[in-house]
């Protein structure tokens, strides 16, 4: 598959939302006590050259398997490509979130995205009226479970029981007014995942056991929305380096997989404050 055909081939993923939700769409200020912030939107991860090369190589090997028996290294290359796709698929991710402030300068939030849910807490450290800017920080944890249709891209692969856990530290500085909100800050996440996989090559079916991986997303994020009073719309951009690895067992052998990549992660959402 050529690079120009890469994204169209991923169309079956659109309803799945398999990639991790790296966006926040949270202004730097928390709601006033007793009020709510809500957001709904979609993120569109952009694959880097690293991901395209891995998938292109795997598809070439799948075609070669029709004519000859693959070597152990070639078979493992297909498995590594499938792990990359399942762990960090370049597919649209819809999301819906709501945050409520039960106390002054404190919020609790719930968000649904990427086949799972996220529970977060934030505290407002600085307030614009007194300090000139808003500054908030918190902690959040999420769990997602799904069966990513990797076989839509790699026909020899079937993945089951994919489970991801993520812990993040949301930190944002920004400002807000009647017609705008803007925010920026570091993006820091830890992720861990596990899955089961079956590889079906001509004349050979292999069950891959104990596929697991973990890593960190480290980078920065910024966003701005525009509207009036209580309804706003706008973009957010996240740029992070994924520092991760995985390991799988096949036919009694343990194999390491390097998942490091640079992730470009834009999104757009509607925000409301009530």
pTM of the model: 0.86
Parent domain of 84: 3-8+17-273
Residue 6 has pLDDT above 60, yes or no: no
State residue 16's pLDDT score: 46
State residue 115's pLDDT score: 79
Query: For 197-217, what is each residue's pLDDT tens digit?
Result: 888 888 777 777 568 899 999
CA distance 126 to 95: 28
For the chain, the domain total comes to 1
Q: What separation in angstroms does the CA of 21 have from each of 43, 166, 195, 230? A: 8, 10, 18, 25
End-to-end, the C-alpha distance of the chain in Å comes to: 48
Q: How many other CB atoms are found less than 10 A from the CB of residue 122?
A: 26
Residue 185 has pLDDT above 90, yes or no: yes
CA distance 109 to 148: 26
Residue 4 has pLDDT above 50, yes or no: no
Task: Tokens for 165, please give them.
Answer: 């856990």
Q: Lowest-confidence range among 4-8, 64-68, 158-162?
A: 4-8
Q: What average pLDDT does this structure show over 227-241?
A: 96
Q: What separation in angstroms does the CA of 154 have from each of 32, 81, 148? A: 49, 9, 12
């Amino acid at each position: 598959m050529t690079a120009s055909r890469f994204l169209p081939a991923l169309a079956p993923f659109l309803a799945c939302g398999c990639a991790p939700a790296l966006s926040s769409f949270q202004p730097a200020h928390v709601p006033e006590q007793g009020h709510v912030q809500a957001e709904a939107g979609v993120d569109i991860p952009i694959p880097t050259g690293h991901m395209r090369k891995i998938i292109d190589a795997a598809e070439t090997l799948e075609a070669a398997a029709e004519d000859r028996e693959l070597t152990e290294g070639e078979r493992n290359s297909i498995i590594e490509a499938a792990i990359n796709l399942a762990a960090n698929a370049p597919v649209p991710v819809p999301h819906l979130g709501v945050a409520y402030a039960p106390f002054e300068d404190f919020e609790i939030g719930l968000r649904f995205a990427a086949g799972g849910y996220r529970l977060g807490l934030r505290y407002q450290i600085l307030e614009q009226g007194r300090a000139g800017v808003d500054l908030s920080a918190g902690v959040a944890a999420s769990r997602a479970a799904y069966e990513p249709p990797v076989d839509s891209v790699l026909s020899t692969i079937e993945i089951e029981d994919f489970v991801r856990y993520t812990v993040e530290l949301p930190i944002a500085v920004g400002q807000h007014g009647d017609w705008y909100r803007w925010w920026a800050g570091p993006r820091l996440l830890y992720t861990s995942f596990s899955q089961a996989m079956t590889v079906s090559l001509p004349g050979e079916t292999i069950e891959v056991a104990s596929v697991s991986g973990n890593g960190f997303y480290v980078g920065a994020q910024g966003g701005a929305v525009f509207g009036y009073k209580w309804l706003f719309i706008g973009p957010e951009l996240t740029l992070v380096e994924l520092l991760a690895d995985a390991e799988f067992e096949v036919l009694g052998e343990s194999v390491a997989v390097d998942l490091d990549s640079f992730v470009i992660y834009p999104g757009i959402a509607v925000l409301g404050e009530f």
